[in-house]
């Protein structure tokens, strides 16, 4: 599976207009999507934590994006970016569930 860089505008089109992702992970600076656009990810910097974070979201059974992987406190942008892309590839290959699918049972 291939992961590509996308614009913030395209990334935000995938999400509801009132999403609170930024309040959870910080100021987003980079955005990704896999080729079929079933998995998306973003890199962010948190001033509070003084570190780099990422979130990976995957389409649920209704086609809405839900968080499936969230990692925090990377010391630099490059490490967070590499880890995010590798984790996105793993999510697609493994068929990993979203967090809401796990908690809903």
Tens digit of each residue's pLDDT (9 = 90 or more) over 36-81: 999 999 999 998 888 999 999 999 989 999 999 999 999 999 999 9
pLDDT band at 96 (very low <50, low <70, confident <90, very high): low
Q: Are 65 and 40 in contact (CB under 8 A)?
A: yes
- Encode pLDDT of 15-35 as tens digits: 988 777 878 899 999 999 999
| DSSP at 13 | H
pTM of the predicted protein model: 0.85
Give the pLDDT confidence score for residue 28 in this predicted structure. 94
Of the candidates 13, 65, 19, 15, the residue with the CA atom closest to the CA atom of residue 38: 65
Residue 29 near residue 53, CB atoms below 8 Å? no
Domain ranges, ordered by start, for the chain: 3-104
SS3 content of the chain, % helix, strand, coil (to 5): 35, 35, 30
């Amino acid at each position: 599976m291939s992961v590509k860089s996308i614009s913030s505008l395209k990334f935000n089109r995938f999400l509801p207009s009132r999403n609170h992702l930024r309040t959870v992970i910080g100021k987003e600076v980079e955005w990704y999507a896999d080729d079929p656009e079933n998995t998306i990810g973003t890199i962010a910097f948190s001033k509070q934590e003084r570190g780099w974070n990422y979130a990976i979201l995957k389409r649920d059974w209704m086609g809405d994006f839900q968080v499936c992987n969230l990692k925090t406190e990377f010391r630099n942008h490059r490490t967070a970016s590499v880890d995010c892309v590798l984790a996105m590839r793993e999510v697609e290959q493994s068929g990993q569930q979203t967090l809401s699918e796990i908690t809903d049972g």
